[in-house]
Each structure stands twice: as structure tokens, then as C-alpha cells.
Amino acid sequence: KKRKQTNLESYIRKFSKMFNACQKVSVLPTEGEVDPTSYTTSPLHMGASVIGLKYKDGVLIAADRQVCYGSMQRFKSLQRIFPITKNVVMGSGGEYSDLQAIVRKLKETELEDWAHHDGNQYSARDYYNLLTRMSYKQRNKMDPLWCSSVVAGVSEDGDKFLGLTDYHGTHYEGNFVVTGLANYFVKAIIENNWNPDIEKADAIAILEKCLRVLFYRECKASDYVQFADVTSAGVQMGEPYRITSTWDHQEFLHPRE
């Protein structure tokens, strides 16, 4: 009985030492420190809206190239539309570091798919579904991918795909999709001018008009824009250029007193 009591006291002493040691090593942030899982709940480097639009022979994605640090127009020419495969392209608005993480993951997936050499290739819908699951997973961890992303692609058979997902994991497909403040400013412009058989030149004209309105209305938007065109022949990344804008309105030149 005495031996059992001695063993029990020994176990209690060992447990007390372990408990005291665990108390000294805290996994919670102390005062003045930042919880490492909370960085992207306060995004800093933000890109503006992205627009995707189907046309007769393919899909277009358009966005400006500006990334803001808070409200400061910090980076004037950063790429926000990326080719993932020869037939899939993605554009994103939101926290730029999260966009880089998304592109890196999709590129790794494309490389793994290529390494199998099984004659199959992931479609735009496959990458889109992967991105929606990634976004939903990170949202449930309270560490979201703070981006709204547009995925577009055209199969070799000419099947066009266009979808959008946000940082909640909410997702939908459509003939045209927009992110950010474009939901409030340019949807009506597209609805009033789009049709299933629209030609590429007319589709580009609609997108330029939308980007011009965003440049006027959205403080984080820029007039330095880039287009990506994806068809059954592959992805073609356009060169960045400046859209025209007008600032000589009479109300600007001669404001009312």
C-alpha cells in the first residue's frame, strides 16, 4: 500500500512539472504581438474590380493593373490576370498576396496534372471547383483568401466556361461576371449591350466602357488596363494600355458657384 502511495505521489509530481512547463510556453499572442492567423482579415494591398465576359468565339477577362496600399495608389503596374494552362486563365481582385498564393497553388496543380502523362487535362471547371473549395476551407479557418476571382476557359471542343468565387467560397457561373464595386457600377452596361453572338471587337468595347466608368467612380481603379482572351486555340494575354477618359466637362471647367 505504501509503495502504491509513493508511486502515485511520484506521478502527481511529474504531472505538476509538465503542467507548469506548458503554462510557460503559451501559443497565444502576448500583448503587442499579432496572431499569425489574422493577417489576411485586415488586407492591405488591394486590387480593384475584375470583369469576365463571354463572346461569340471565346471569353474575355479585363482588369486594371493598379494595387493600392490602403487608399494610396502604391503599385501602378502589377499583373492581376494570369494564365494557368494553355486554355485556362484567372483574374482576381482583392489582397494581392492571397492572389499570389492562389496562382502558385493552381500552377502546382497544373504541374502535377502534367506529370501524370495520362492523356487527360484538367478543365477550367476543375480549376474553378478547386478554387471554390480552397476559399471555403480558408474561410472556415477564419483565415480567408481575401480575393474575388474569375476563372475562364474554353475547351478544344469550343465549350466556354466563366465562373466567379469570393473569399466566402460563394460561387456562380454566368455569361458575364464582375467582382467588387463593378457589381454596382457596370452590370447594367453589360446587360444592355451583351448578346450571345457578340463579336470580339464589340465585347472589348463594352469592357473598355465598363473600365472607364470604374476609373471615374472607384477610387482604387486605374486607367491602365489589361485584357486576356481565351479561345479554343489557347490563351492570349494582351499588352497593357491606357483607356481614354474625358475630364473637360463644363461642370468641371466652370463649376457653379
Residue 232, strand partner residues? none
What length does the chain have? 257
Q: Tell me how far apart the alpha carbons of residues 44 and 135 are, in angstroms, rounded to a whole number.
A: 19
Q: Tell me how far apart the alpha carbons of residues 128 and 87 are, in angstroms, rounded to a whole number.
A: 13
**Distance (Å) of CA 158 to CA 55, 118, 148, 232:** 12, 22, 26, 5
Residue where the block lists cell 452596361: 189
Closest alpha carbon to 165 in 185, 142, 188, 144: 144
40 an active-site residue? yes
Rg (CA), the chain: 25
Catalytic site residue from 40, 85, 165, 231 = 40
- Residue 56 CA to its chain's centroid (Å): 25
Closest alpha carbon to 62 in 138, 176, 171, 199: 176
Catalytic annotation, residues: 40
